[in-house]
Amino acid sequence: MDQTCSHLRYILITPARNEEAFIEKTIESVIHQTAPPLKWVIVDDGSTDRTRDIVNRYLARYSWIEVVQVTQRRDRSFAAKVLAFNAGYDKVKGLDYDIVGNLDADLSFDSDYCEFLLSKFREDDTLGVAGTVFKEDGYSSERHSFEGHNHVAGGCQLFRRRCFEEIGGFIPNEAGGVDWIAVTTARMKGWKTESFREKWFFHHRHLGTAERGVLSSSFSYGEKDYYLGGHPLWEVFRVAYRITKQPYIIDGIALGLGFCWAFLRRTPRPVCRDLVAFHRQEQMFKLRAILKSLVTFRQIDKFHLERN
């Protein structure tokens, strides 16, 4: 282990429901980390497949892995995921650690992935939440996402313990956005959040498609953009951007329809007004920066055309 981050102790919590197709990839990634966790709690959230059996094979060899069984349920909701996470969190509250990580059960990453993120926390005391970009088949959040460097994807989020306690942990919300709410609240409270580009994790299931298709997922993301307080002008540009990406046009339209549908229904927002105002302020700042860069690029391009 790199001695630069050896004094930072971290724990991981993984809610897992019917993940037999992917969870072994995640387990193999974690057990081969150059900086292993103090404790890793895997919460079997009512799985009806072989998820628990796969995890059990590793328990005897790795004493720092623990399984928590949650009562069987039918739905796969975001609120249920938070309840599962909290069941795992209860198991580590008595431990002495510095960093708490939320890790999905369908990821894989390099052996020095966690050590890299720990080093970032050591270098910057103001860093509250850290993660990396991610890849899927045909997708990279670094190249295709409309979000900036301060957005930390929910698949793997590491929180400084003091930050996590200040924001009140994850807030249960049936419709989703629990990861986003946590990270944005951290920034609103003055913490730095960053998604680093030097490393990445691979997400083996396409984002948001656990039990639905791609277009249904895009429609749902549009609804989420509304009820999390997204600015309408930002959404217009986001839809325009998504129209240019595969599957061309229809994905962007599904996103826009979801936003409009939530607007027409006046879907209740699970976030406070202060967070909505903070979120919109950030969006307008990023939008101005994007438009400024586009104007600058066009001016440079025009200059070269005229010179040639």
Q: Which residues sit opposite 7 in a β-bridge? A: none
The strand pair at 10-16 and 99-103 is best described as parallel
- For residue 76, pLDDT over 60 is answered with no
39-65 residue pLDDT tens: 999 999 999 999 999 999 999 999 999
164-195 residue pLDDT tens: 999 999 998 876 789 999 999 999 999 999 99
Nearest-angstrom CA–CA distance, 218 and 150: 22
Better-scored residue on pLDDT, 2 or 243: 243
23-41 residue pLDDT tens: 999 999 999 999 999 999 9
Give buried/exposed letters for 7-45 (b at 16+ CB in 10 A, else e).
ebbbbbbbbbbbbbebbbbbbebbbebebbbbbbbbbbb
pLDDT value, residue 78 = 72
Tell me which of 68-77, 118-127, 246-255 is least confident.
Answer: 68-77
What whole-number percentage of the chain has pLDDT above 70?
Answer: 89
- For residue 81, pLDDT over 60 is answered with yes
**Residue count (the chain):** 308
Question: 3-203: which CATH architecture?
Answer: Alpha-Beta Complex (3.90)
Nearest-angstrom CA–CA distance, 72 and 45: 7
The whole-number average pLDDT for the span 75-99 is 89
H/E segment holding residue 289: helix 273-307
- CA-to-CA separations, 103 to 100, 107, 250, 305, in angstroms, rounded: 10, 8, 31, 49
H/E segment holding residue 193: strand 192-203
- For residue 297, pLDDT over 80 is answered with no
Using 50, 70 and 90 to split pLDDT, how confident is the model at 304?
very low
The whole-number average pLDDT for the span 107-120 is 98
Q: For the chain, give every domain's residue range.
A: 3-203, 213-308
Radius of gyration, CA atoms only, the chain? 20
The whole-number average pLDDT for the span 140-144 is 79
pLDDT value, residue 183 = 97
User: Is-contact 110 171, C-beta < 8 A?
Assistant: no
Average pLDDT, the chain: 89
Alpha carbon 41 to its chain's center: 18
Which residues does 23 contact at the CB level (< 8 Å), separation at least 6? Answer: 16, 42, 51, 54, 55, 105, 106
pLDDT value, residue 176 = 78
pLDDT value, residue 303 = 42
H/E segment holding residue 127: strand 127-136
pLDDT value, residue 9 = 97
